[in-house]
């Protein structure tokens, strides 16, 4: 399974989602390649936002990647693209190039048992509590995604979405 977490700049939400998806999929015994990207290019090459690094660190998660922008070839390289919000999902679908590729885009919180289909709000302009809330949403969503991915008949698998 190849999964790409997607947000706006690839410095706040998607790096945390990437790390949590990797952790939760491994815990379920699901072999996966997980990466992250942003729809925008403002932060390409930069590490995650220090506040995302800190909230992840407080929860025992390490962020080590560098920001990159979503590319059309990502739709061929990844089975599923998990967007953090509906705006980024729409931008990804517009870039996809075909209905089949666009169908690979889902919302991260489609897997949140407390708020299926909701957006993960961008914490960039918020304070410490915004980043903590983001982390909690992503952790719940990643855990449920991994639980579903561990089931062979799950709709999570790319050939069934």
Active-site residues, by number, are: 7, 13, 122
CA angle at residue 61 from 144 to 57, to 5 degrees?
Answer: 130
DSSP state of 158: G
Nearest-Å Rg of the Cα atoms of the chain is 14
Tell which residue, 74, 73, 72, 103, has the closest CA to residue 89: 103
Give the count of beta carbons closer than 10 Å to the beta carbon of residue 51.
19
Could you tell me if 43 and 67 are in contact, meaning their C-beta atoms sit under 8 angstroms apart?
A: yes
Pairing of strands 105-107, 80-83: parallel
Residues with Cβ within 8 Å of 142's Cβ and at least 6 positions away in sequence, in order, are 17, 20, 21, 23, 24, 108, 111
């Amino acid at each position: 399974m190849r999964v790409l977490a997607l947000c706006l700049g690839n410095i706040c939400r998607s790096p945390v989602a990437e790390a949590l998806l990797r952790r939760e999929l491994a815990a379920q015994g699901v072999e996966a390649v997980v990466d992250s990207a942003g729809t925008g290019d403002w932060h390409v090459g930069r590490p995650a936002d220090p506040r995302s690094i800190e909230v992840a660190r407080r929860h025992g998660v390490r962020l080590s990647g560098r920001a990159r922008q979503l590319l059309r070839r990502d739709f061929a390289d990844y089975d599923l693209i998990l967007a953090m919000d509906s705006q980024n999902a729409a931008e990804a679908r517009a870039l996809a190039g075909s209905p089949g590729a666009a169908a690979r885009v889902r919302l991260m919180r489609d897997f949140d048992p407390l708020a299926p289909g909701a957006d993960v709000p961008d914490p960039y302009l918020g304070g410490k509590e915004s980043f903590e809330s983001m982390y909690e949403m992503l952790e719940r969503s990643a855990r449920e995604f991994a639980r579903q991915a561990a089931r062979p008949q799950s709709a999570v698998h790319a050939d069934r979405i």
